Structure 1
Amino acid sequence: MIEKQIKMRPCPPTKSLLLLPAFTAFLGIILLLSGHGNIKQAWQSLSWPSVDGEILYSDVVMASGVGQYQAIVKFQYSVDSEQYIGDTIAFTQAYSRDKSSLQNLVAAYPIGSNPKVYYDPKNPSTSVLKPGLLGTKDDNFATISGGFMFLASLLGIFSILYKQTTEK
């Protein structure tokens, strides 16, 4: 019996192979941005001036439609004799499935207390109680996952492109 050996050459990767890593990179960017949507403002807030404020309302509530808890703190403050009301605890903190972590956050702001309020000198109506980056575990997970997805996808894209150029 004569056996015929067939040598198969691997097919060079096509551009369609780039679709999956490109799509994953896109999803990674979305997760990265949704995890910390206000990163630029959070970093800028580290250099903002502060004034004393007054806490008007402080509680943890179930956010409607998202199945997560939300920390709500409303405060008033004045800049150059102008009164403002703010409600931003931190630029990168919003929701969490962990009610106790938000209760700990809100406990630092009892009604009637006078915390420092950091405000944007270019727009004093923009203010925050905790300047810089602060995130719940859920925020951090989305950001870290998005970053890893994006980097892994880029690595995949470069790997495919490198193989295409070296096989020619």
Structure 2
Amino acid sequence: MLTSIQTLTYTMSKLFFPLFISIFFAVGFGMLGYGINSAKKSVEVSNWPSVTGTITNMSLRESSDSDGTTYGVEVEYRYSVMGRTYTGSRLAFGYISSSGRQAHQDILNKLESASSVKVRYSPQNPATSTLSFGIHRSIKFVLAFAITWLAFVFGFTLIWWIASQPDDVLLKNLEVTLKR
């Protein structure tokens, strides 16, 4: 028979784990949503109108912390649509910095060698613009990470659920002779 403390502990563990693990599911689905949304927007850009733009500023951003160093290209450009001048700073939807310096250096080198750039802008809002499009490495990384994260969290949840179940099969099929 369970004591009141054991009952309380059992009840709390039954409530705590679902609340605790739901945070990890929320993070995973949030990352997945971000990746899917970025992919959708980045593919849509291929159908946006384009104009010639001028780069006004660019650099390779380097950020270091205890986990290492990440790199990302920062770019600013100017373009005109129907006589109105806009400025933009989006390289691509979903583009994020990463530890692979060379990939970002290659992007910067291409931009540095350009006399002008093709700027794609939203037909609904010309102030929304980007220089590149498609399912690029940053989007693939976020999607792969989110799927891996969710698989791990799902697996961990499944293991917890199995461990929390009584072993009825073992008990049912355990044949014993009772003591007299």
Tell me if both proteins adopt one fold, taking TM over 0.5 as the criterion.
yes
One-letter code aligned to 1:57: N
Which residue is equivalent to 2:130?
Answer: 128
Residue 92 of structure 1 corresponds to 94
CA distance in 2, matches of 1:135, 1:56: 25
- Of structures 1 and 2, the one with the larger relative CO (CA 8 A, separation 6+) is 1
Structure 1 residues 53, 96: CA separation in 2 closer, same or farther (over 3 Å shift)? same
2: CA distance, partners of 1:63 / 1:21: 31
- Aligned residue identity for 1:41: K
For residue 75 of structure 1, report the CA deviation from its aligned partner. Answer: 1.5
Matched, 1:101 2:103: yes
Task: Return the match for 1:81 from 80, 83, 95.
Answer: 83
Please name the residue that 1:29 is paired with. Answer: 29
AA in 2 matched with 1:48: W
Which residue identity does 2:132 align to in structure 1?
K
Q: Unaligned 5+ residue runs, structure 2?
A: 1-13, 169-180
C-alpha separation between the residues in 2 aligned to 1:37 and 1:97? 23
Letter paired with 2:105 = Q
- CA-atom RMSD, angstroms? 3.6
Pick closer, same or farther for the CA change 1:69–1:37 going to 2, 3 Å: farther
Query: Matched residue pairs, number?
Result: 151
* Amino acid in structure 2 at the alignment position of 1:28: G
Name 1:148's counterpart in structure 2.
148
Question: Residues of 1 paired with 2:101 and 2:110: CA distance?
Answer: 15
Looking at structure 1, the residues matched to 98 and 37 of structure 2 have their Cα atoms a distance apart, in angstroms, of 16
Which structure 1 residue ranges, 5 or more long, are not aligned? 1-13
> Is the CA contact 1:35–1:142 (under 8 Å) kept in the aligned structure 2?
yes
Tell me the secondary structure at the aligned position of residue 108 of structure 1. helix
More helix by share: 2
SS in 2 for 1:83: strand
Q: What code does the residue aligned with 1:47 have?
A: N
Cα distance 1:41–1:18, how it changes in 2: closer, same or farther (>3 A)? same
CA distance in 2, matches of 1:23, 1:74: 36
Relative to structure 1, is the Cα distance of residues 67 and 34 closer, same or farther in structure 2, using a 3 angstrom cutoff?
farther
With over 3 angstroms needed to count, the CA separation of the structure-2 counterparts of 1:34 and 1:41, relative to structure 1, is: closer
Q: Cα distance, 1:102 vs. partner?
A: 0.4
- Compare 127-136 and 66-75 and name the one that shifted more: 66-75
Q: Given the two structures, how large is their TM-score scaled by the length of structure 2?
A: 0.64
Match of 2:7 in 1: none
By how many angstroms is 1:112 displaced? Answer: 5.5
